[in-house]
Structure 1
Amino acid sequence: MLGLIPTMKESIMTEEPIRTIAVFAATGSQGGAVTDALLEAGVRVRALVRSTASPKAAALAERGAELVRVDVEEPSSLVAALEGADAFWFMTIPPGGMQDADTAGETRQGIALADAAAAAGVPHVVFNSVGGADRSSGVPHFDSKYLVEEHLTSLGLNTTIVRPVFFMENFTFMAPTVEDGTLVLRLPIPADVPLQMIAVRDVGIIAAQALLDQASLPAAIEIAGDELTGEEIASIHGGRAGLPARYEALPLGVMDGQDDLQAMFRWFAETPAYQADLDQVRQVHPGLRTLGTWLDAGHAPAAP
């Protein structure tokens, strides 16, 4: 088990300072969370973005981030953006989204970023993969990330792999509804099957911790903040809304036509799926949010 570690600011004061940390897709969900954590720690962030003119990029610049435009289809732009960086964080997603996931394109994207880090001689790389990527899940967008993990290993890069589980933020669009005064949550997961989950904010904090103090995390770690059945998830949402709640398990067939996501929900039911050690993760990040504290932080359930 990992011991308690100092805060990020304490780490900066006690360790040799890191001059520049590069963050890919710094205006995205995970990249933004990593950038937030680093900026709050007083670290110099080089934000790698598709457009330096976007409102989100401008907001980062106002907070002190250095903006650098990159294009994964232009390897030279990636290498130039990473030269002189003391550490580099990146993640991948299928181009075009999850409806018809281009997982081969996702792997190509990850390989291009890994190759650029190697060419630029980046001393430490943190890659956000996904929980279960290393366990032959058969989920296409898990397997595509594991191919990137393997490529990082083949390059001999000094790498930390962070594998987050299901995001609590998914409940903003897989949200419960209110029907006849009862909050109802429906998901294609059996009612008694536990699902591990984590807040994106905490993913960013843990990844930032790895960037600031590599020794504080193992070389690869699966991360989660809570583990709940569908019935428990519905009950917590209902409690925050002040309503009775129920959970209804949907058949997997509701995901027909969405092969990648259907494979993921099928995998959820074949326990154990995600296998994060919550006690270990809390030692790395004691402020880890549960679903309840995530809702309390402003992610409100459906209104009556």
Structure 2
Amino acid sequence: MSMRNDNSPKIIVVLGATGQQGGGIARALAADGRWKLRAFSRNPASDSARRLAARGFEVVAGDMDDPASMRAAFKGAHGVFPSRARTKVERWRRAAASPSQTRRLPLGSSTSSTDPSAAQTAVQASHFESKRRIEEHVLSIRLPATIVRPVFFMDNFTKASMRLVLLALMRSYVPKAKPLQMIAVDDIGKWVARAFADPAGFIGKAEEIAGDELTRAQIVAALKRHGWSAGLPFPLPRLLLRPLPYDVRRMFEWFGTAGYSADIPALKARQPDILTFEDWLARQPTG
């Protein structure tokens, strides 16, 4: 029997709290102020784990390949956010294997193409497919969960080298008039914080979330307005893009055909401060 005071802060476990998306989740939950936050780390003595501890996180040792350590990390938790972009299905199954360990709101990150209604057009990139299988498993065991399906991260444009590759892929695979839906990772965090704060309004639901949608030309123009480098002035032959991982190329092919379909006006009605790409750029150091 737990001796924890019912009035004490409830525990939220964030996996991948040092990563891009997990970091946004961690910041939002910390800013919310109502939770006791727990991070899961293979090496609690690492610099990244120590930084989390300095921000008030309880950092526990564990390994996603060790079910016993996962159960220990989830003990007494109100909810879990398994923020691993490429988490293996088997690992998520371990995380979801004992609903009693997380009584209220396990919450997972997926992607829009996992929607069964989009199965015929969904990209077959490995990380998209694995997330679809995870959603199916969560549904099959009737876990009281919420699924957030964020679109392309604005934060992917932060590094100049990555920006060059992404814009080259857009030029090669995405038609000029086709917009790309995007979201800031901090806005994913705010959505997740709302979901944990209002379980009745979110449990059992899956939602695709985005803050903006822009064509490649509009993205380039916005980057230049903020003093960021904006890729090459000429297209790269697809042959030069071949060394990129296959699932990345397939993902951009999907962006150019089906693509994301989040209801941005509806999301903004509920989360009015969600960032446009221009808003996000204005908050970043010059690229």
Query: What is the correspondence of 1:134-173 to structure 2 with a 5 Å cutoff?
Result: 134=115, 135-136=118-119, 137=122, 138-173=124-159
| CA apart distance, 1:252 | 4.7
1:108-123 matches, within 5 Å, as 108-115=90-97, 117-118=98-99, 120-123=101-104
- 1:225 corresponds to which residue? 211
Cα distance in 2, alignment partners of residues 81 and 243 from structure 1: 43
- What is the Cα deviation at residue 162 of structure 1? 0.1
Q: 1:223 to 1:249 in 2, by over 3 A?
A: farther
Distance change (3 Å), C-alpha of 1:244 and 1:154: closer
Residue in structure 1 matched with residue 68 of structure 2 by the alignment = 76
> What secondary structure, in the 3-state scheme, does the structure 1 residue paired with 2:112 have?
coil
CA distance in 1, matches of 2:211, 2:231: 22
Aligned counterpart, 1:204: 189
Query: For residue 259 of structure 1, what is the aligned residue in structure 2?
Result: 246
- 3-state DSSP of counterpart to 1:241: coil
Partner-residue secondary structure (3-state), 1:71: coil
Equivalent position to 2:274, from 288, 291, 298: 288
CA distance in 2, matches of 1:125, 1:191: 39
1:275 aligns with 2:257: no
8 Å CA contact 1:88, 1:122 repeated in 2: no
Change (3 A) 1:26 1:244: closer
The residue that corresponds to 1:44 in the other structure is 36
How many residues were matched structurally? 268
> Contact (CA 8 Å) 2:44, 2:61: kept in 1 or not?
yes
CA-to-aligned-CA distance 1:107-139 (integer Å, 9 cap, x gap): 222222222x52524321110111222222122
RMSD (Å), alpha carbons: 2.6
Distance 1:244 1:251 in 2: 18
Unaligned runs of 5+ in 1: 1-15, 95-104, 178-184
The TM-score, its normalising length taken from structure 1, stands at: 0.80
Distance 1:220 1:254, change over 3 A: farther
Percent identical pairs in the alignment equals 36
- Deviations along 1:19-76, one digit per CA (max 9) or x if unpaired, are 1111112222211211111111112111122221122221221221111112111101
Q: Is the contact made by 1:92 and 1:109 (CA closer than 8 Å) also made in structure 2?
A: no
- Report the counterpart of residue 26 of structure 1 in structure 2: 17
Q: Partners of 1:285 and 1:216 in 2: how far apart?
A: 14
Q: 1:242 to 1:209 in 2, by over 3 A?
A: closer
Please point out which of 276, 280, 284 is paired with 1:298: 284
Whole-angstrom distance in 2 between the partners of 1:109 and 1:250? 38
User: Cα distance, 1:243 vs. partner?
Assistant: 9.1
Gaps of 5+ in 2: 1-6
TM-score by length of 2: 0.84
| Aligned residue in 2 for 1:213 | 198
Residues 228 and 286 of structure 2 are in contact (CA less than 8 Å); yes or no, is this contact kept in structure 1? no
| Equivalent position of 1:63 in the other structure | 55
Relative to structure 1, the CA distance from residue 70 to residue 243 in structure 2 (aligned partners, 3 Å threshold; closer, same or farther) is closer
| Matching residue's letter, 2:194 | Q
